[in-house]
């Protein structure tokens, strides 16, 4: 038994072009990821999502978005709320751990209450990288903390809040982007930390290994694989992520069009799958690149298909949440750490 192709792709605009529909109909990608270029208002997003699902012929085809908060949120005012960065919850945790976890849960439940009615079923959050003071600021305030004992409970709260609202979380970036001194969007970071130091970075992923999705890091960890970035390394994906961390869910590559990786898009996609990733991710919507990625990956089958089906089965349709109540409760908890 086989399923759709092991790829999640983007699109260029606010609606699918005839060319995109033809490619998606012929190649059957697993899902779609949305960016700000694709989102203007709720009615338009709902129509785009419905069109994609009709095109691939699967009502449960996952639709993803990066709605972390702070610098990384694709849906923004005036039609959607502005969300604080993860570091705000980490700051509150230092003073009141229980309040911080409740606020993080409420914040994620609010996000889910906005995403689910649009048909968006996967939010690429929480980011559970452990922040390092000497690292590139691509992580920065997107991370909860530099302490894994703070990251773990806050990451769990976000996971639970999203799931409560019918949206699947994605833990990222496995096995940890927090030490990287370069932005993997622009170049390949190399981390030379030893096993003892990396144990700190691994801890949140091990603790949240039951997440439905996990996204890889385009980072070389010389202790684990001296040559290949984690996304393309079987030693890291199978040995560390599946083996040591016990990650159970779908392993999704980070965006294959990022400059950290080399080779053609088809080669990158094939190498990611060969390394043990279940699904390849391509985000920029460029037609020629998407076609290469889709040609480079197989149809889902076996354990990979089972993991995808198990993840999608966790999407549920909750009763509509009272967004005003969630917002008021969250803001009351965050008041000590938010600007007046």
Determine the Cα–Cα distance for residues 230 and 116; give it in Å rounded to an integer.
31
The CATH code belonging to domain 17-334 is 3.20.20.300
**Residue 72 above 80 pLDDT?**
yes
Task: Based on the residue annotation, tell me whether 254 is a catalytic residue of this protein.
Answer: yes
Q: Which of 142-146, 164-168, 209-213, 259-263 has the lowest mean pLDDT?
A: 259-263
Active-site residue, selected from the candidate residues 82, 98, 185, 210: 185
Q: What is the pLDDT at residue 65? A: 98
Length of the chain in terms of residues written: 340
Determine the Cα–Cα distance for residues 183 and 95; give it in Å rounded to an integer.
31
Distances (CA, A) of 179 to 73, 170, 219, 226: 23, 20, 10, 16
* Position with higher pLDDT, 48 vs 339: 48
Hey, where are the domains in the chain?
Answer: 17-334
Active-site residue, selected from the candidate residues 66, 225, 254, 271: 254
pLDDT exceeding 90 applies to what percent of the chain?
90
**Residue 340 above 70 pLDDT?**
no
**Residue 28 above 70 pLDDT?**
yes
pLDDT tens-digit readout, 304-316: 999 999 999 999 8
Task: Based on the residue annotation, tell me whether 185 is a catalytic residue of this protein.
Answer: yes
Q: Which pTM does this prediction carry?
A: 0.96
**Residue 9 above 90 pLDDT?**
yes
**Residue 89 above 90 pLDDT?**
yes
How sure is the predictor about 184, in pLDDT bands with cuts at 50, 70 and 90? confident
Backbone φ, ψ for residue 253 (5° rounding): -65, 155
Q: What is the pLDDT at residue 320? A: 72
Report, as an integer, the average pLDDT of 97-104: 98
Backbone φ, ψ for residue 117 (5° rounding): -65, -20
How sure is the predictor about 185, in pLDDT bands with cuts at 50, 70 and 90? confident
* Token pair of 201 as six digits: 């970075």
pLDDT tens-digit readout, 314-333: 998 777 777 889 999 999 99
pLDDT tens-digit readout, 195-251: 999 999 999 999 999 999 999 999 999 999 999 999 999 999 999 999 999 999 999
DSSP 3-state assignment of 277? coil
How sure is the predictor about 275, in pLDDT bands with cuts at 50, 70 and 90? very high
Residue showing tokens 């949440």:
321
204: CB partners within 8 A, 6+ apart = 128, 129, 130, 148, 151, 152, 155, 171, 176
| CB-CB contact of 76 with 88 (8 Å) | no
Q: What is the pLDDT at residue 105? A: 98
Omega of the bond leading into 175 within 30 degrees of 0 (cis): yes
């Amino acid at each position: 038994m086989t399923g759709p192709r092991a790829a999640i792709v983007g699109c260029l605009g606010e609606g699918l072009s005839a060319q995109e529909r033809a490619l998606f109909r012929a190649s059957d990608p697993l899902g779609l990821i949305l960016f700000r270029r694709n989102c203007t208002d709720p009615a338009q997003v709902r129509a785009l999502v419905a069109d994609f699902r009709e095109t691939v012929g699967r009502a449960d085809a996952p639709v993803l978005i990066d709605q972390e908060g702070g610098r990384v949120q694709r849906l923004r005012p005036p039609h959607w709320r502005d969300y604080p960065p993860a570091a705000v919850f980490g700051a509150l945790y230092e003073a009141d751990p229980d309040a911080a976890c409740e606020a993080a849960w409420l914040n994620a439940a609010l996000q889910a209450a906005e995403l689910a009615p649009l048909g968006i079923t996967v939010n690429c959050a929480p980011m559970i990288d452990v922040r390092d003071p000497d690292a590139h600021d691509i992580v920065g305030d997107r991370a909860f903390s530099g302490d894994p004992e703070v990251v773990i409970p806050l990451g769990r709260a976000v996971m639970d809040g999203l799931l409560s609202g019918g949206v699947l979380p994605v833990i990222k970036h496995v096995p940890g982007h927090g030490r990287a001194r370069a932005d993997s969007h622009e170049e390949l970071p190399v981390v030379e930390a030893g096993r003892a130091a990396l144990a700190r970075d691994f801890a949140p992923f091990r603790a949240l290994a039951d997440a439905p999705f996990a996204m890889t890091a385009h980072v070389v960890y010389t202790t684990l694989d001296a040559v290949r970035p984690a996304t393309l390394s079987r030693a890291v994906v199978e040995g560390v992520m599946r083996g040591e961390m016990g990650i159970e869910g779908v392993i999704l590559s980070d965006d294959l069009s990022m400059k950290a990786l080399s080779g053609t898009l088809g080669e990158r996609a094939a190498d990611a799958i060969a390394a043990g990733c279940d699904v390849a991710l391509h985000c920029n919507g460029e037609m020629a690149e998407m076609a290469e990625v889709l040609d480079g990956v197989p149809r889902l089958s076996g354990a990979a298909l089972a993991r995808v089906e198990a993840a999608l089965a966790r999407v549920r349709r909750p009763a509509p949440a009272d967004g005003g109540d969630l917002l008021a409760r969250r803001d009351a908890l965050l008041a000590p750490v938010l600007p007046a």
